[in-house]
Amino acid sequence: MTALSPELRLWDPPVTYRIGVAMGTHANPYSGELLRSIRAAAAQAGCDVTLADTGDTASEEDSLVRALRADLVDGVLLVPSTGGEAVINGLVRMGVPTVLIDRVAARNDVDQVGTENVHAVASLVRHLVEGRNRKIGLISGDESLDISRERVRGYRLGLEQAGLRYNRELVECGLSTSGGAARATAKLLDGWPSPTALVVADESMLVGVQYEAHRRGIRIGSELAVVGYGDMEWARRVSPAVTTLAQPVADIGRRAVQLLLSRMADPDRPPETVSLTPRFLHGASCGC
């Protein structure tokens, strides 16, 4: 018979938490990778995961978060939708262990994990300046999102660091959609001064920029430099490949699970915001 150590407490089962994940599964190209990372990190910690697809709308998000709470999850990982502040406020007010993912908000009462935006976008602008571009435009994202505003600040910081003046005529909002970005690109290219380079604030809008440039017969990389934010497989397959900043999606998912476990273990610890550094991926779309 095998002797067991008296220190082993066989009557104590492993602690298992139930984690609710609320996100728009088709809202971003990297949603699948993010969810896989969350599930892997949760499984390693002995936790179960329940997914609720919010459709990236505030109304659906509210009802699904309520359903998760009714299902007695121990904590929530939330990719907040536009206009979803009321949902976040409710979770904080009820003391539900919560971590916001990706769309980091300008608040200090909840744990958050996302990607650094300001200095990252500034580096894209400086890269374009090094390629001898001076008329650098910006296709900005949904103005209601904090990350969109941060990326605008990064664009302005990059211009300042390069000794260039900010020109409002070189900035158009693409609404964080491909269609909105196509319209914004058309407006910039038809305006004055017409940009020689574009910074595109997210991956969804890169599709619209590509479409409008090809519709006009403009050769990206030689006639129009384009850089963007995001890590899309298609962006590395098109010709020319797109110069982008790749979000560390897997790291974001793992770190979010770690933060949630820490919050559930110690509900009174100060909220933490984690900003991870994106990875620069060079392609020929920037013209160099």
Task: Give the percent of the chain with pLDDT over 70.
Answer: 95
pLDDT per residue as tens digits for the range 212-262:
999 999 999 999 999 999 878 888 888 899 999 999 999 999 999 999 999
Domain boundaries in the chain?
17-115+248-276, 117-246
Q: What is the pLDDT of residue 11?
A: 45
- Provide the 8-state DSSP code for 11: T
* DSSP alpha helix (H) spans, the chain: 31-44, 58-70, 85-93, 118-130, 146-161, 178-190, 203-215, 233-237, 249-265
- Which is nearest to 139 in space by CA: 175, 114, 104? 175
Distance of CA 172 to the CA centre of its chain: 20
CATH 3.40.50.2300 fits 17-115+248-276, yes or no: yes
Pick the CATH number of 117-246 from 1.10.10.10, 3.40.50.2300, 3.20.10.10, 3.30.505.50: 3.40.50.2300
Mean pLDDT for the chain overall: 90
Q: What is the pLDDT of residue 107?
A: 87
Asked if 17-115+248-276 and 117-246 have one fold, the answer is: yes
pLDDT per residue as tens digits for the range 149-201:
999 999 999 999 999 999 999 999 999 999 999 999 999 999 999 999 999 99
Backbone angles phi, psi at 93, to 5 degrees: -65, -35
- Which is nearest to 118 in space by CA: 84, 159, 165? 159
Distance of CA 229 to the CA centre of its chain: 9
pLDDT per residue as tens digits for the range 79-135:
998 777 888 998 999 999 999 998 888 889 999 999 999 999 999 999 999 999 999
Place of tokens 């309520």: 66
CA–CA dist 167, 31 (Å, integer): 34
CA–CA dist 78, 87 (Å, integer): 10
pLDDT band at 14 (very low <50, low <70, confident <90, very high): low
Rg of the Cα atoms in the chain: 22
Q: What is the pLDDT of residue 171?
A: 98
pLDDT per residue as tens digits for the range 153-163:
999 999 999 99
Asked whether residue 8 carries a pLDDT value surpassing 80, the answer given is no
